[in-house]
Structure 1
Amino acid sequence: MPFARRPPADTSVVAPHGVPAIVRSFSHAGATLVVESFGRGARTFLFLHGIGMGRLAFRGLAGHLRGRGRFIAVDLPGYGAAPEPPRILTMARTADLLAALLRDGGEGPVTVVGHSMGTQVAVELAARHPALVDGVVLLAPTVTRTERTAARQILRLAHDLAIESPRVILVGAIEYLRAGPHIHGKFRAMLAHHPEDVYPRVSQPALVIRGGSDRVCPQWWCAEVAAALHGADLVEVDHHGHETMIRDSASSAAAILAFTGG
């Protein structure tokens, strides 16, 4: 049964570049996260993956940020190793779940780094629980206000994957399979969210990173996102698409370090 996932008990694993890590589960209000934490430092980064993905998508990025802080990467409910929740969570409810995680562990404030759908959760977390967030990094923010349909987004993603590397496609295929049979409902939850209504409520410093060839997040949209975030910085990584943090994690890490002051 490939989709019958059981959250792990606390275990020790090896994170990027041989760094010891702890993987555990956290449950609150009927939903469960799988949480991997590693590294040390004054700044804490919280990584939130996109739809169909999981915490492993951030391995390369975290490796390039090694030594610059502490890292928390999660499998959101129903993704990666995290079990399916009784009901698919909205972006806002997912943010509340993460806030419960941070408060339970005495964490925060964190610099929240979201990719794709994870950017929608990231801005909800920053807006709804501002004391827990000191900075926001949005990698390929979704969903454009003019194309909020599943058909359009899937077409955009297909065009984007045509330029991606085999490694990116392999990682994505594995994680989409792990996302399980409810991926259509998760897509609906993502598309029902209007991030443009949330951006003006984010008061923390913000950074937007876009792959220069990203077909899912066009340049005009990312410019709008940055402007709505009270004039956030916008960085483009040339010659890469929607999954630029996987294909060229070094460039994304450099932009994040410049944003956070190294």
Structure 2
Amino acid sequence: MNTPLLPPGAEVERVPLEGGSVRVLRGGSPRGPALLLVHGGSSDNAAISWYRLFAPLSRKYHVVAPDLPGFGGTTGIDPVGGPERQADFVAALASELGLADVVAVGVSMGGDTVLNLALRHPRLVRGIVLIAPGGLVPALRGRTAQRAAWLFTRLPDRVLLPAARLANRFVGTALRTVVRDVSALPDEVVREFRREALRADAGLGYLRYNQAVIGPRSMRNNLLPLVGRITVPALFFHGRNDPLVPPEGSREAVRRMPNARLALVSDCGHWAQLEAHERFLAELTDFLAGLEE
């Protein structure tokens, strides 16, 4: 229960950065094209989001997946907050690892980070893949919901952190609010999600992200006015039944971006790369092949 999950095909590397230690999962040959994978929020980490992808992708690509500060096995670095700072952190890590010309893949909060990576560090990325990405809605559904969410994030840590720890004990309930069918998830992923949720500082990284992006009347991370500036090829992959991030944001982003397409998956919730693994791997493989033509 206390042993961190390691996806098949992955190895663990510790990278000193910003006075701390970043846990990075790596697979494949460093000589192959680089895929930089950015996990989501809540009780996520690199091993959870990308558990099913390391083995198939490592056969051809150099796969790199870090735990962001405040998540997983990364230690000694305070959570950086919003997606802009997360993007800068990922870019600094990529530089430390000698990565360039990467295809960046992000899910949920990590999709928000990858969009910002493409905007803030365009020379680093040659293509992006966004799975149910955050950062593409002007506001939460309804003024009351927006105001309530903002007020909650304004509470002091002495209130928020115990509340997060209490909520994290109900792992089964949390998963049922994220995925269409919990039985579609590997048992190993469910166990790691539970282990991550019960860490002493679990939720702190996601809390700092939400404090940065949720405003009293609107979302501070809405990138729809800016995504048209992203010209690299982009693939959006979104579950049609996503209960957390409306697919409409992905649809609108694709409409505004010059080189983007959307794969919308029926009977699929928020963790689309895990729930619809075979479909995602097929779409991703086709996208990557197109970049090499």
Q: 1:163 aligns with which of 172, 175, 180?
A: 180
Paired amino acid for 1:47: L
Give the number of equivalent residue pairs: 247
> Counterparts of 2:85 and 2:212 in 1: how far apart (Å)?
11
Q: Gaps spanning 5+ residues in structure 2: where?
A: 153-173, 215-219
> Counterparts of 2:280 and 2:270 in 1: how far apart (Å)?
12
Deviations 1:64-87 (A, max 9, x none): 323131100010001011126345
1:36 aligns to what? 25
2:14 aligns to what? 24
Q: 1:136 aligns with which of 101, 116, 128?
A: 128
RMSD over aligned Cα, in angstroms?
3.1
> Counterparts of 2:262 and 2:46 in 1: how far apart (Å)?
24
> Counterparts of 1:160 and 1:190 in 2: how far apart (Å)?
21
> Counterparts of 1:245 and 1:48 in 2: how far apart (Å)?
12
Paired amino acid for 2:126: D
Taking the TM superposition and a 5 Å limit, the aligned residue runs for 1:40-79 are 40=29, 42-52=32-42, 53-57=44-48, 58-79=50-71
2:243 aligns to what? 215
Paired amino acid for 1:26: P
Offset of residue 145 of structure 1: 2.0
> Counterparts of 1:26 and 1:169 in 2: how far apart (Å)?
29
Q: 1:189 aligns with which of 206, 212, 217?
A: 212
**What percent of counterpart residues are identical?**
26
Deviations 1:20-43 (A, max 9, x none): 624213313x56532121102532
Are residues 21 and 32 of structure 1, via their aligned partners in 2, closer, same or farther at CA, if it must alter by over 3 Å? closer
> Counterparts of 2:51 and 2:182 in 1: how far apart (Å)?
17
Report the TM-score when normalising by structure 2. Answer: 0.73
- SS of the aligned residue for 2:270 comes to coil
Deviations 1:202-236 (A, max 9, x none): 22110100012112232322201212332511002
Paired amino acid for 2:28: G
Is the 8 Å Cα contact of residues 202 and 229 (structure 1) preserved in structure 2?
yes
Alignment of 1:119 with 2:111, yes or no, is yes
Give the greater-gyration-radius structure (CA): 2
> Counterparts of 1:187 and 1:177 in 2: how far apart (Å)?
20
Are residues 237 and 51 of structure 1, via their aligned partners in 2, closer, same or farther at CA, if it must alter by over 3 Å? same
Paired amino acid for 2:32: A
Deviations 1:2-22 (A, max 9, x none): 9xxxxxxxxxx9642xx3624
Is the 8 Å Cα contact of residues 140 and 209 (structure 1) preserved in structure 2?
yes
1:245 aligns to what? 273
- SS of the aligned residue for 2:60 comes to coil
Alignment of 1:110 with 2:112, yes or no, is no
Are residues 132 and 88 of structure 1, via their aligned partners in 2, closer, same or farther at CA, if it must alter by over 3 Å? closer
Offset of residue 151 of structure 1: 5.9
